[in-house]
Chains A and B, each alone.
Chain A
Amino acid sequence: MADRNLLNSRQMAHFTARGFLRFDAVVPDSINRAFLCEIGVVDGVDQNTGIDGIAEHHARIMASSAVPVVPAGTLLADAYPQGCALGKLMALPEVLGTIESLVGKGCLFDHHFLHVTFPERFFEAEGRRNVSQHLHQDSTIDLRRAFDVQILYFPHEVTREMGGTRFVPGTHLRVVSEAAISRYQNILGQQHIVCPAGTLFFMHHGIWHGGGVNLSDHLRYMFKIRLCPIVRQTRLWNTSDLPEDHLEQRPIFWLNKQPDPEHIHSMLTRPEPWHEQDTGRLEYLNRIRMWRYLLGDERFDADYWITRVENEPE
C-alpha cells in the first residue's frame, strides 16, 4: 500500500457542512510544470503566442493525447499512466488519502476535463462577449445519500483577475436541476478561487459553482476529475480523533459559555451567509443526516435538531 494521508474527523465535518476541502500548493512544482508541458504550455501561462483561437486551442490539446481518453466507469487506479504528471499527482499521499477518505478504495473514474478560460482579446477577435459561466450544479438531479467527489486541480497560480472557479460553500445538499439556478448571479458568501500553483479542491458533486470571467492577459487552466464510490462511504477516514462523547448532546440556546467552534457539532450547525432563516435549519438536518451516513450510526445528532422532530412516543 502506498503512503496516504487520510483525513481527520474535523476535515470530514468541514466537507459535510460546506461541501469542499482546500489544499493550497499541495502538488509539487515539478508535477505542475510537467502537466503544463504535457498539455503544450511551453513557457508557463504568460506565453499565449501561437494560439489561433478558442476552439482550435481546445481541439489541439484534445488531439494531442496529453490527457488520456478514459471510459467512464474505469477503475481510478487504471485511469492514468504512472509516469505522466496526472499519474504522479494521483499518487501523492494527500491525494490518495483524501480520495480514500471520501470515496473509498477502488473508486471509479467518471470523467475528467481540462477547462481553459481565455482572456478578453480572444473573445474580441471572435466578436463574442467574454462572460462568466452561469451558476450550476454538475450532472443532473441527484437524490443519493452517497456522493461523488470532484477534484479541481490548478496547475499554476490563479489571481483574482484570472476568474478562478466561483462556488457557494454549503450548497451541496440542495437538490436542483443543473443550470436551473442560472438566474442567481450573486449569492452572499460566494467564493472566487484565488490560489497558488498546485492547489487542489475536493468538492461534493452537488456544490453550486461556475467558471469566472478571465480579465487577465493570461490563459487559465483547471483540470477536473470526477470520482465515484463503490463502497458505502462509512468511516473511511482516520476516525481515531472522534471524541468519546460524540453521541452526547450539549446544552443549547441557554449557555453559560460560548460553545467550542471546533467541536464537530458546532461545525455541523454553523450557518452560511446565504442561509435563509428557516431553511438554514433544514441544512443542519441534512448535514446531520450526511454525518450519520458517514459515521454509520443513526443515533448521532447535533444540538437536538433531528431528535426533536423524530420524537414520537408510543
Chain B
Amino acid sequence: MALRQQVLVLYLKSSALDTEVIGWANYDGTGETAHMAGDSDDPPYRTGIGALRDGWRLLQATPLAPHATGDEYRTSYLKYEFFFEKLVDADG
C-alpha cells in the first residue's frame, strides 16, 4: 500500500471551526488532481465542520496570539488558517 497525502487548507471567518470558509487551497500528493490559484470561486465546504464531516483530519489550527503593541490595527495575512489532510492509498 502506497499512502499519499492530500492537503486542504481552509481560511475561516473566525477561530471557530463552525464559521464560514473565506479562502481555500488544495494540494494533492496523489497527483490525480492539480489545483492552482484562481481555479474555483466557490468554497469546497461552507464551514470547517463540513470538511471534518467529509473525512478530512484536522492537522493544525492557527493559535490565538496577543496583538503586538503598536500593531493592533494593522491587517495582514488571513488570520484563521486550518490545515486538513486525507491519507489516500495511491495503489488503490
Smallest distance from the beta carbon of B32 to chain A beta carbons, Å?
15
The digit string for B7-39, where 1 denotes a CB below 8 A from any CB of A, is 001011110000101111110000000111111
Does B91 lie at the interface of the complex (its beta carbon under 8 Å from any beta carbon of A)? no
Smallest distance from the beta carbon of A220 to chain B beta carbons, Å?
14
* Complex contact B75–A132 (CB within 8 A): no
Does B84 lie at the interface of the complex (its beta carbon under 8 Å from any beta carbon of A)? no
Q: Give chain A interface residues in 5-38, CB to chain B under 8 Å.
A: none
* Complex contact A132–B23 (CB within 8 A): no
* Complex contact A186–B76 (CB within 8 A): no
A174 to B73 Cα, complex, angstroms: 10
Residues on B with beta carbons closer than 8 Å to the beta carbon of A278: 14, 79
Does A73 lie at the interface of the complex (its beta carbon under 8 Å from any beta carbon of B)? no
* Complex contact B75–A187 (CB within 8 A): no
A213 to B34 Cα, complex, angstroms: 13
Binds B, one of A118-126, A232-240, A246-254, A280-288: A280-288
Residues on A with beta carbons closer than 8 Å to the beta carbon of B23: 184, 186-188, 274
Does A134 lie at the interface of the complex (its beta carbon under 8 Å from any beta carbon of B)? yes
| Number of B residues with CB within 8 Å of any CB on chain A | 29
Chain B residue nearest to A143 (CB atoms) is B74
* Complex contact B74–A175 (CB within 8 A): yes
- Of A132, A174, A274, the residue contacting B76 (CB under 8 A) is A174
Given the known inter-chain contacts A132-B36, A277-B19, please indicate yes or no for A186 contacting B24, CB distance below 8 A: yes
Chain B residue nearest to A130 (CB atoms) is B36
Residues on B with beta carbons closer than 8 Å to the beta carbon of A180: 77
Does B69 lie at the interface of the complex (its beta carbon under 8 Å from any beta carbon of A)? no
* Complex contact B38–A276 (CB within 8 A): no
Does B90 lie at the interface of the complex (its beta carbon under 8 Å from any beta carbon of A)? no
Does A192 lie at the interface of the complex (its beta carbon under 8 Å from any beta carbon of B)? yes
A278 to B75 Cα, complex, angstroms: 11
Does A111 lie at the interface of the complex (its beta carbon under 8 Å from any beta carbon of B)? no
Given the known inter-chain contacts A166-B38, A185-B39, A186-B38, please indicate yes or no for A285 contacting B73, CB distance below 8 A: yes
Given the known inter-chain contacts A183-B9, A185-B24, please indicate yes or no for A279 contacting B75, CB distance below 8 A: yes
For B19, B40, B75, the residue with the greatest tally of chain A CB atoms inside 10 Å of its CB is: B75
A192 to B23 Cα, complex, angstroms: 16
Residues on B with beta carbons closer than 8 Å to the beta carbon of A176: 76-77
Chain A residue nearest to B77 (CB atoms) is A176
* Complex contact B37–A134 (CB within 8 A): yes
- Of B19, B36, B74, B78, the residue contacting A131 (CB under 8 A) is B36
- Of B21, B37, B43, B77, the residue contacting A166 (CB under 8 A) is B37
A173 to B79 Cα, complex, angstroms: 15
A173 to B25 Cα, complex, angstroms: 23
Does B54 lie at the interface of the complex (its beta carbon under 8 Å from any beta carbon of A)? no
Residues on B with beta carbons closer than 8 Å to the beta carbon of A163: 38
Chain A residue nearest to B72 (CB atoms) is A282
* Complex contact A186–B79 (CB within 8 A): no
Given the known inter-chain contacts A175-B76, A176-B76, A187-B22, please indicate yes or no for A210 contacting B43, CB distance below 8 A: no
5 contacts between A and B (CB under 8 A): A132-B39, A163-B38, A185-B39, A186-B38, A188-B22
Q: Which residues of A contact B (CB under 8 A)?
A: 129, 131-135, 163, 166, 173-176, 180-188, 190, 192, 210, 212-213, 273-279, 282-283, 285-286
Extra pairs beyond A182-B37, A213-B38, A277-B19 (5, CB < 8 Å): A133-B37, A174-B76, A184-B23, A185-B36, A213-B36
Q: Closest 6 interchain pairs by CB?
A: A185-B25, A166-B38, A274-B22, A187-B23, A132-B37, A277-B14
Q: Which residues of B contact A (CB under 8 A)?
A: 9, 11-14, 19, 21-26, 34-41, 43, 73-80
